[in-house]
Structure 1
Amino acid sequence: MGTKDNIVLIGMPGAGKSTVGVVLAKVLGCRFLDSDLVIQEETGRLLHEIISEDGVDGFLEIENDVNSRIETSRSIIATGGSVVYGEQAMRHLKEIGTVVYLELSCEEIRKRLGDLRKRGVALKEGQTLEALYAERVPLYEKYADVTLCCGGKRMRQIVSELSAVFQPEGE
């Protein structure tokens, strides 16, 4: 598969990056790496603690730094929803893998999410989910090598569509 043999999942919080990633890794027989967990391991803090202690900008700096140093192969990498703000991180992730945007409508994200702050979502003061969505979608689209519309689909269907892209029949 060469050096670009990872699959990098990007998308809004609640789009299912971690859940899809774990199942996809099982189906394709690769490793699974959740970059939010790497951040927590490296800093010894939970995401929402980093955000409340260092602010959103401080968190984004840490996220950009950690993601730009990920070295792995044959892995599914689930990233945090805000990874696309980090130019270094995205450059690096595109070098080591294929970037897949799990696309969902703002409405569906809202239904799935619940309390944004408890989830460690990098929201600026007074920013609404709609504003965040509008700000991030162009970035997801800019960096995506593959976009998969996930609206109204079950987990199994999303995983099977992705595994068909990365493991075509007959291989």
Structure 2
Amino acid sequence: MSNPGNIVLIGMPGAGKSTLGIVLAKILNKSFVDADLLIQSQSDKTLQKIIDAMGPEGFIEVENAVLSGIEAENSVISTGGSAVYSDEAMRHLAGIGTVVYLRISYESLVSRLGDLQERGVVLKSGVGMSLRELYDERRPLYEQYAQITVDVDNLSITEAARKVAAATS
């Protein structure tokens, strides 16, 4: 597979990776792969149950194994927000597609996100970690791995998907 034609979406929880990914796949006539759902189906547990059972580091190992094993073609792949903690997985994903960072401001994130505990969000520094700390910890990682960055602030899902489609074509 020299160029499988995949688009890999990375970004914070709440940036719209899954929702936008589905719309983007329709616009570009690609398949859609939700990595979080792959992890859940392969583990037979919700993300939060995996985190509760194995801790953040254990979850990251599971996520790394699942992401590193993705063999997709002509697909939009939505990753979990914590995918960037796994260098091996990110190198694999960059090898099979174009990595697009859906950048969202901290302020927009606050208005979009409900309870982090309910979303199956990996808080590496423990449950006392604030959204601000999580944002500040992950942002440089998203920027490091991104081949294309698309600002999704103040855009509808469809507008953001069109912007990603234009940036990747």
TM-score by length of 1: 0.94
Across the aligned residues of Structure 1 and Structure 2, the Cα RMSD in angstroms comes to 1.2
Q: Which residue of 2 aligns with 1:73?
A: 73
SS in 2 for 1:64: helix
CA distance in 2, matches of 1:114, 1:125: 15
Unaligned runs of 5+ residues in structure 1 are none
Q: Which residue of 2 aligns with 1:128?
A: 130
SS in 2 for 1:121: coil
The percent identity for this pair of structures is 51
Q: Does 1:19 align with 2:9?
A: no
Contact (CA 8 Å) 1:4, 1:95: kept in 2 or not? no
Q: Which residue of 2 aligns with 1:157?
A: 159
Per the TM alignment, residue 126 of structure 1 is displaced from its structure 2 partner at its CA by: 1.2
Contact (CA 8 Å) 1:60, 1:86: kept in 2 or not? yes
Q: Which residue of 2 aligns with 1:37?
A: 37
Matches within 5 A, 1:1-171: 2-123=2-123, 124-167=126-169
Q: Describe the superposition over 1:37-91 as per-residue Cα deviations: whole angstroms up to 9, x where unpaired.
A: 0000100000000011111111011001110110010000000000000011000
Unaligned runs of 5+ residues in structure 2 are none
116-125 or 138-147, which moves further after superposition?
Answer: 116-125
Per the TM alignment, residue 166 of structure 1 is displaced from its structure 2 partner at its CA by: 2.9
Aligned residue identity for 2:82: S
Regions of 4+ moved over 3 Å: none
Aligned residue identity for 1:14: G
- Between Structure 1 and Structure 2, how many residues are aligned? 167
